[in-house]
Amino acid sequence: MKAPLPENEAHRLKTLQDLEVLDTDNEPEFDELTEMAAKICNMPVVLISLVDSNRQWFKAKVGLNVDETEREVAFCAHSILSPSEIMEVPNALLDPRFVDNSLVTDGPMFRFYAGVPLIASNGDALGTLCVLDYKPGELSELQKTSLKTLSRLVVRELNLRHSYKQ
């Protein structure tokens, strides 16, 4: 099921574009945050995903060999609809939003997803820090709290990166 657009979509996209981060090279600061999330959550796949108008692009990734996916299959496109919450999908095969999603039914066949929205200072959700697994699961409260902290660090890095470019 394709996620609806956020009510503030035009503003959110402008905020994302203003950061000038899409399609940039890997940067160690972001790679380190994804590696830390993978270790804390014991997950094989971790992404810093930025959702633009028609795709989700990965600023950093662990365990995945693609740089982007179409927005219409992006779990993160659903997650940014509730910016103040972590979205956890214990088993994508049992969730009506994802049961026929190609990321679940074809390769890579994800089952578990948890994403914390990356919230800009103006409140716009730019994407997520997310963890995925090939089997169903759930995060502990400590892991959820840690992911929320790491998501705020990702946003700080995005802001620092942008302020240095100016």
The 10s digit of each residue's pLDDT in 117-149 is 999 999 999 999 999 999 999 999 999 999 999
Tell which CATH architecture fits domain 9-165.
2-Layer Sandwich (3.30)
Whether residue 63 has pLDDT greater than 80: yes
3-state helix, strand, coil in the chain (%, to 5): 40, 25, 40
Q: Is the peptide bond before 108 cis (omega within 30 degrees of 0)?
A: yes
Q: What is the pLDDT of residues 65-120, one digit of tens each?
A: 999 999 999 999 999 999 999 999 999 999 999 999 999 999 899 999 999 999 99
Please state the pTM of the whole predicted model. Answer: 0.95
Looking up tokens 């820090």, which residue turns up? Answer: 129
Reduce the DSSP state of residue 116 to 3 states and report it: strand
For the chain, what are the domain ranges?
9-165
19-29: burial string, b at 16+ Cβ within 10 Å, e else: bebeeeeeeee
Does pLDDT of 165 surpass 90? no
